[in-house]
Structure 1
């Protein structure tokens, strides 16, 4: 956007529009490098450029200060929004998950895992309903199904993690494995909306929510298992096409040395379905290999699954 705004502000004689622009910056080093004509840097996490939810006073103030930059004569101009939100929240109750889950230990047996997941959903459902009531909305539904189908969504993930089953249940319309992307988005939305519904509690930042979900819930562990199946299929396709280990790491956005460490085990016991291989081959041929695996687990959490076992021992 910063580069685009430079073109928009160019005079008409230089094939620009001659229109003043303003923008909100979430990553200051990027804005410093790009040098947009006028930008307001805000100290909020990605996805919340206007500030925390349920704070219209802050959100309106951010908009006002951003629009006021149009009066800045000198460009480029990068101003900082004052970080006053944290001080106002000190008197609030600190955030914590409003429910206590029975166990952190992952269970590999499919039926037992499904029971644990149903328990999580049942414990979170009252808080989800409270959050939807207070907010007047929910973001669950990108898969085409609502919160009443969270159990079904998790069952699809469990079946896929067990045998890379890409059969699409009758209740869903999207094809596999694309459906996985939509299901994981809806499941995370359900969990996040539930645990942030406690009245009076300080809202956690996005990193805290991600850590809670992937390290403390069974659903988070299933996400890891789903990603491993997708990565394994893509890795085998790349190996079969003669790519070197370091290039495979780059293509699949893995830590350096990952392919060299796990490739032999993946080849020996992949546990993958023929149908999933076909999808990975098609993605490779179209230059899209790894697209589904990247959408399941965020980068900051991809290499932290082993922390679950350490966390479980502390309880």
Structure 2
């Protein structure tokens, strides 16, 4: 964005638009390196450039101070937003999900796992509806279906993760496996919007919300299972293209030694469909190997599946 701002501010004779630009900065070192014409650095976490949720006073103030930068002469100008809202942010540390899930390890049988997920959906749905009434909007729907299809979306992931026979119902925007990326967006939206919808409750930090989803919910563990299937397909494609084990670990952002330790097992793993291998091969051709698997589990949570049991006990 900073580089684009520089281009926009160029005189028309130099190919620009001669329009003043402003922007909000969340990562100061990056902004200092790029040197955009005018930027306001804010002390908020990634994903919250305007400040804490449900604080329109702070959010409007950030917008006001950002727009006021347009009066600054051509920079680069990097202005710090007053860091005096620390109490508002630190108060979020006391967040907890409004729902207490039954303590259970994810089942390995398809029907039992689906039953666990239906329980989660039933417990979360009233809070999702409460949040929808209060906010008047939801980010669900990118897959082509809304909240009434949330159990169906989870069923599709379970079938994919367990190598069960899978028939995708009509009504979705994309076929498998492309549909996966839209399903994960809608499922994460449902869980997150439900979890933050208790009136008067503190908002979680982005890290708290990720830890809760991936370490405490059954759906989070299904995401890990799906990622393993996708990584298997990526590894097979990269092996077929002649990459060695260390190169594959690096290309897929895996822990060192992962490919060498699991290659034989993955080569024998059933359920890696022709369609999935084709999608992985297409990503490799354009230099984007591992795109599906990277999108399923954030980098910060990628190697933390083993913490699920201890995390639940600590809670």
TM-score bin (small chain): over 0.9
Judge conservation of contact 2:52–2:89 (CA < 8 Å) in 1: no
Root-mean-square deviation (Å): 2.2
Structure 1 stretch 235-244 or stretch 171-180: which is displaced more?
171-180
- Establish whether residue 184 from structure 1 lines up as the match of residue 176 from structure 2: no
| Structure 1 residues 235-283: Cα deviation after superposition (integer angstroms, max 9, x where no partner) | 0111122111122123222233322222222123354234322332343
**CA displacement at 1:55 relative to structure 2:** 2.0
| Structure 1 residues 204-242: Cα deviation after superposition (integer angstroms, max 9, x where no partner) | 111110111000000000000001101101101111221
Match of 1:216 in 2: 216
Match of 2:198 in 1: 198
- Establish whether residue 153 from structure 1 lines up as the match of residue 153 from structure 2: yes
Match of 2:80 in 1: 80
Match of 1:119 in 2: 119
| Structure 1 residues 73-129: Cα deviation after superposition (integer angstroms, max 9, x where no partner) | 362111111233342467789310111111241211111111100000001111111
Match of 1:135 in 2: 135
Using the alignment, how far apart are the partners of 1:287 and 1:145 within structure 2?
31
**CA displacement at 1:314 relative to structure 2:** 4.2
Judge conservation of contact 1:95–1:203 (CA < 8 Å) in 2: yes
Using the alignment, how far apart are the partners of 1:201 and 1:215 within structure 2?
21
Using the alignment, how far apart are the partners of 2:89 and 2:280 within structure 1?
47
Using the alignment, how far apart are the partners of 1:84 and 1:165 within structure 2?
55
The correspondence of residues 6-17 of structure 1 with structure 2, limited to 5 A, is 6-17=6-17
Using the alignment, how far apart are the partners of 1:119 and 1:155 within structure 2?
13
Match of 1:306 in 2: 306
Match of 2:57 in 1: 57
What SS does structure 2 have at the residue aligned with 1:141?
A: coil
**TM-score when scaled to structure 2?**
0.92
**CA displacement at 1:72 relative to structure 2:** 2.1
Structure 1: state its 5+ residue gaps. Answer: none
Using the alignment, how far apart are the partners of 1:19 and 1:280 within structure 2?
42
Alignment CA distance shift 1:160-1:71 (3 Å):
same
Aligned residues: 315
Structure 1 stretch 89-98 or stretch 275-284: which is displaced more?
89-98
